[in-house]
Structure 1
Amino acid sequence: MALGRTTRLPSLTGLRFVAAAAVVAQHSSLIWTRGHGENAVLLRLGFAAVTFFFLLSGFLLTWAWRPDQPVGIFWRRRVARILPSHLVTLALGVLLLAAAGRAVPLHAWLPNALLVQTWSPRFDLLDPGVNGVSWSLCCDLAFYLLFPVVARRAAAIRPERLRHWAAAAVAAVVLVPLLATAARPLLDGPPFGLAVTQRQIWFSYTFPPARMPEFLLGVVLARLVQEGRLDRVRSWHGALAFALLYPLDHVAPLMFGIAAITVLPLAALIAGTANADRLGRPSWLAHPVTERLGALSMALYLTHLLVIEHGDALLDPDGTADGLRPLLFTVVLVAGSLAAAWLLHLAVEEPMVRLLNEPRRARPAELRTRPAELRTVADHQRETP
């Protein structure tokens, strides 16, 4: 890999907050729909944000990958990034349900705790258990387990063939909804809505192998950027393409709106934003405040739905709020989500990352001979999601 390995990516960190905010907006629409489901326009925006995060995961892991890193250390660091925060929010969700007088059976929390719930076709996105957003961590865990093998294979791809592999990954993303449509007789069951069944949504949206092509595209995309083969791509190219395609995403069949329509604009957005950092182009996303908010994105993702669902039930138990009250509740609960994310990040995520994710302490002689290398390793660890 010729270029970009040691470059920090503050703009991509800032962009993570934008994507997390889209998910928060999607779930905040529950306050306005009074339990009748999320706003359809924001639902597709939330789909796009999840695709963005899966692409970004592959991109950043590849960007920071060092072939000499032991696999066990890599896995330990990845688990340290997600598992403590996940278990804390899961426990909080159980306590909140118990406080509301709702039973929390074993089958509702144990698969969630182990991050295996979405491997089963019985997983129901409409009733996902204690903390519904944690389904995506099942996919993240699968990506992490396979990444050391994927990274070595990706590093062996000749630069001139990277575009072919990227095209193959995009084709695989499009193939998923085609398979889910063709397999309707095998994926029959209770309706999800919009002419699809819950099992079709499970297969195309939450089943980890179905989301693997997006992650693999992110891996290849990182190599393309590192090799300087996408230098002309700017972040506004991806943003404009997304804006133009989003109306199509909204009217397309639901399963195609999950990732197939938006994956290329989002890939261009990631590549262009990474180029801004690598090539020294100015970007508002690299502002320290935006970068700091981006560092909260994982904690915000894990806490916001608990705050919104339980907070709305507390503020408006009868679902009768009207006038300006839904707007006021939205502002309060979004602010509460940010506060909860900050606490989770400060009290759980950062301490566990420091404990398990820091490089071994170098001897004084090593610090004198290779301080730049040690700083580079630390930067990589902070950038990786």
Structure 2
Amino acid sequence: MRSSSSWLLTATRPAGARPASRLAPFPASAHGRIPESVHACRRAHRLPLRRGSTRVPHLASLTALRGPAALFVVLYHLRLRTPWLEGVPVLESAFVGISMFFVLSGFVLMWSSRPHDTAKGFWVRRFARIYPSHLLVAVIALLVPITVFAPTVLGVAANLTLTQAFIPLYDVVFSLNGVSWSLSCEMAFYAVAPFLFRWAHRRSTRTVVLAMGSWWLGIALLGIVLGYASGLTNGLAYPNPVIRSGEFVLGALAALLLRRGWTPPKVLRPLPTAVFVVLVHVAVATFHVPPTAAEMMLGPCFALLSIAMARSDVEGRTTFLRAPVLQWAGDCSFALYLIHELVIINVMPLVGPVSSRAEGLAWAGAVLGLSILAAVAIHHLWEKPWQLAILGWWKRRHPRIPASPPPVVEAPPAVTDVATQPARPVVTASPATVIDAEPDTSPDAAPAPAPILGGSPPAAGTTRT
């Protein structure tokens, strides 16, 4: 019996047809060798496609996971600013939600990447996603009376250019909006990501696993050592982009393996994996593992959780994470992450003396609700409009020209006697129809759709723009 995920590697075929190989055959060049562009097409075949689709499946569960990750960070900062959440060990290490963000970022970007994406297009999309909201919250931080550190010229300049994580000074790294140091790390990852993804798409799985796995392992061990060395090294290593790059690379590696048809063990299902992550988190909180070391330890757990959730989406399983309200929460999570600390540190001092812990928890819940309301307003009134405007401007400047379908050539009738057959004119193919021509990688070119294994080419207009 075929496994439920066997369609990831083979497409449907007519009844009675011979089983097709995992990769459709490609004709050789005139010199008897398969051209490099054909090898690129072979690699494109590794995309896990749904039946009858030319797109990688949308990972709705990973979108929903962003909501709990952001909520964890909010609860961690609430615990730091209020005495009513003390005594909850899990909240003492709730900062690990940032590690989940880094792993999810690498996973989703690798999953949705295409071998011939342009670096400029990638950078514009990430800029449109991150910078408008960051700029708005940075301006708000300049206007509110309380910030984590008093603004300085260097801190403001580094924050606005998202380079603060590279400057090992606390009043610079956590300047203006303190949590934006993670965006500085993300921008560093984005600068390298197009080249990393392109390299990974063109290499064998073994090479990619050895290279990216070695980078993650070396960085993780270094982070654990620095985390336990001293409070100073832990504090300086925690927001460092090089140290945090291991989580991004690990997420990207997990996505690439899943794209190439790797079948995870059956035990790697959403519920058992989520329970495993919770148990590891509780152990980290119980033994008071330093922050940098804790996030290095939990990074692989979040990668496994991402694989389990993505596999569930690819196989079409229905999970509660697909609920519309959780999808909406995941969409608003970025705004919540950006604004919550400014709300907490400016509103909590206004709360007077409380008579009981229950009253204190009610105030903490009110501040959480106010943070969520501010995040919803930023997401719908600022983040989405600006993102659409920037992407629309880019598409107008760089329109995608759909590739014309190749001409249909009918096969000649079978020849029984060569001597009696009339001579046929020799037709020279135009450069656009040569099979081993190099693909167009200019910014104006549309990416070639990934072909369906064993099937016919998709119709024009079915690719995602």
The TM-score with structure 2 as length reference comes to 0.69
Distance 2:137 2:263 in 1: 39
1:41 aligns with 2:90: yes
Q: CA RMSD in A?
A: 3.0
Partner of 2:128: 80
User: Aligned AA for 1:371?
Assistant: G
Partner of 2:271: 236
Distance 1:162 1:363 in 2: 30
* Larger RCO (alpha carbons 8 Å, 6+ apart): 1
The 5-angstrom pairing of residues 204-219 of structure 1 reads 205-219=238-252
Partner of 1:301: 337
> Please, which of 320, 323, 326 is the counterpart of residue 360 of structure 2?
326
Shift of 1:115: 1.2
Contact 2:155 2:176 in 1 (8 A): yes
Partner of 2:442: none
Alignment length, in residue pairs?
A: 355
3-state SS, counterpart of residue 360 of structure 1: helix
Higher helix share: 1
Deviations 1:269-312 (A, max 9, x none): 00001111111111111111111110011111001111111111
Distance 1:142 1:30 in 2: 28
User: Aligned AA for 1:12?
Assistant: L
Partner of 1:188: none
> Please, which of 187, 192, 199 is the counterpart of residue 141 of structure 1?
187
Partner of 1:276: 312
1:3 aligns with 2:47: yes
My pick for the range that moved more, 341-350 or 355-364, is: 355-364
Deviations 1:194-217 (A, max 9, x none): xx32343212x1010111111111
Distance 2:106 2:355 in 1: 42
Partner of 1:90: 138
Gaps of 5+ in 1: 185-195, 378-385
The 5-angstrom pairing of residues 55-134 of structure 1 reads 55-97=103-145, 104-123=151-170, 128-134=174-180
Partner of 2:328: 292
The TM-score with structure 1 as length reference comes to 0.83
Contact 1:177 1:256 in 2 (8 A): yes
Distance 2:211 2:122 in 1: 25
3-state SS, counterpart of residue 145 of structure 2: helix
User: Aligned AA for 1:254?
Assistant: P
Distance 1:40 1:201 in 2: 20
User: Aligned AA for 1:60?
Assistant: V
Distance 2:115 2:386 in 1: 24
Distance 2:306 2:231 in 1: 32
Distance 2:213 2:122 in 1: 28
Shift of 1:320: 5.8
3-state SS, counterpart of residue 386 of structure 2: helix
Distance 1:165 1:234 in 2: 27
Shift of 1:178: 4.4
Contact 2:344 2:367 in 1 (8 A): yes
1:197 aligns with 2:231: yes
Q: Percent of pairs identical after alignment?
A: 29
Deviations 1:16-45 (A, max 9, x none): 1111111111112134328x9997632322
